[in-house]
Amino acid sequence: MSAAKRKSDDMVAATAASGGGKSEEIDPPLVKNHVEMMEACTSGRLDDVLSLLSAAAADDKSKTDDASNNDAHNISQKHLLAAQQSPTTGRSPLMLAAQSGNVDICKALLEAGAPWNAVDRYGKCAGDYATEAARWDVVNYLVEEGTKAEVCC
């Protein structure tokens, strides 16, 4: 899939998540940050991923510090940025990071709330992407984290 098509798919995903396509509800920074996150995960740019997650966490903090924001059902921007999947392909930042073979990015995304067991439209998870790309260190890491998640709690 071309980078332009992937970027378009991710823009659709971010738009859908931020308001179902209603222009007055779209959060432009969320769309931009999601596209940047997907690109950073694809190219293995850990510093960019950490920067985006940090900025989202700061945004979350400013929203929780706001006394008028009492909705307990809000999903944090940091979690959404780490977990959001493309509506056309179902691919997530974790899947792209696993395919690129970057354990540190996978770790950052899982710590931010990305689900280790999410599947795309073809039934493939991050571990499948890592396996197909022969990224065995990522496969081992994801199996370890998945085991912890299943055994714990």
pTM of the model: 0.76
Q: What is the residue-wise DSSP string for 79-129?
A: HHHHH---TTT---HHHHHHHHT-HHHHHHHHHTT--TT---TTS--HHHH
How high is the pLDDT of residue 20? Answer: 42
**Between helices 28-43 and 3-19, what is the axis angle to 10°?**
140
CA atoms within 13 Å, Cβ hemisphere of 2: 3
54-98 tens-digit pLDDT: 998 887 677 666 545 555 556 788 888 999 998 889 999 999 999
Instruction: Quote the Cα angle for 119-121-122, to 5°.
Output: 85
Q: How do residues 21-61 score in pLDDT, each as one tens digit?
A: 433 344 666 677 888 999 999 999 999 999 999 998 887 67
Instruction: For residue 53, give the amino acid letter.
Output: L
